[in-house]
Structure 1
Amino acid sequence: MQRFGSVIGLREEAIPEYRRLHAAVWPGVLAMIKQCHIRNYSIYLRRMPDGQHYLFSYYEYTGDDHAADMAKMAADPTTREWWKICEPMQQPLADRPAGAWWAPGEEVFHQD
């Protein structure tokens, strides 16, 4: 099992709609997350001292080919439609890796 954490900005004016959407995530999106071997998926919202709002996501990956499962998810029409709604609300970090939307974080501590 691998753990993944990542960060992205969230536009302040989009917070109510982002919360509303994530209070009732579409069943097809949830099903694809499970099909792609993701569990314990959480997203946290925090306003930081710079005044900007950021989302922190965490999930555990239980499959054996993360890249293939992420490609499968990205090809799913329902997931793509969900992203089409959510992405304009988000503000990717300038220093994220090429091709990434959310900026990955480095795990520095974990306790089982």
Structure 2
Amino acid sequence: MKRYGQVLRVRPEKEAYYKELHANPWPGVLEMIRKCNIRNYSIYLRDGYLYSYYEYVGDNYEKDMEKMAADPETQRWWAECNPCQQPVDSAKDGELWVEMEEVFHLD
């Protein structure tokens, strides 16, 4: 199992819509997340920043992320979510969620 922490910003004018989307996520999107070996997934919001945490329990992260990206319902979900999101300054071109460095963990 590998832990992932990621961050991005939410556009202020889209914050309420983003929260509404995630209060009622689409069942097919949730199923695809599970099929792609993601567990214990949370998204937090503070001062315009979104922080996500999840645990990956599979053995080929890149392949599972490609599978998720190819899913038509996930693509429709992202089409709703992406306009709400704004990358942090350190994001590469085309990158939204950026991986964070884990500096502490306690089980």
TM range (shorter): over 0.9
2:82 equivalent to 1:111? no
Q: Which runs of 5+ in 2 are unaligned?
A: none
**Is residue 10–residue 84 contact of structure 2 (8 Å, CA) maintained in 1?**
yes
1:21-74 deviations in Å (ceiling 9; x for gaps): 100100000000000000000000000xxxxx1100000000000000000000
Superposition RMSD in Å: 1.0
2:72 equivalent to 1:82? no
Q: Which runs of 5+ in 1 are unaligned?
A: 48-52
Aligned-residue offset at 1:96:
1.6
**Is residue 96–residue 104 contact of structure 1 (8 Å, CA) maintained in 2?**
no
Which has the larger displacement, 97-106 or 72-81? 97-106
Alignment of 1:2-17 (within 5 A): 2-17=2-17
Aligned-residue offset at 1:95:
1.4
| Partners of 1:97 and 1:12 in 2: CA distance | 22
How many residue pairs get aligned? The number is 107
Equivalent residue number for residue 70 of structure 1: 65
- The percentage of counterpart residues that share the same residue type is 56
| Partners of 2:8 and 2:31 in 1: CA distance | 23
Pick the aligned partner of 1:100 from 48, 70, 95: 95
| Partners of 1:5 and 1:89 in 2: CA distance | 19
Q: Provide closer, same or farther for how the CA distance between residues 66 and 99 of structure 1 changes in structure 2, counting only shifts above 3 A.
A: farther
TM-score, normalized by length of structure 2? 0.96
Question: Which of structure 1's runs of 4+ aligned residues deviate more than 4 A?
Answer: none
Equivalent residue number for residue 36 of structure 2: 36
3-state SS of paired residue (1:43): strand
**Is residue 85–residue 96 contact of structure 2 (8 Å, CA) maintained in 1?**
no
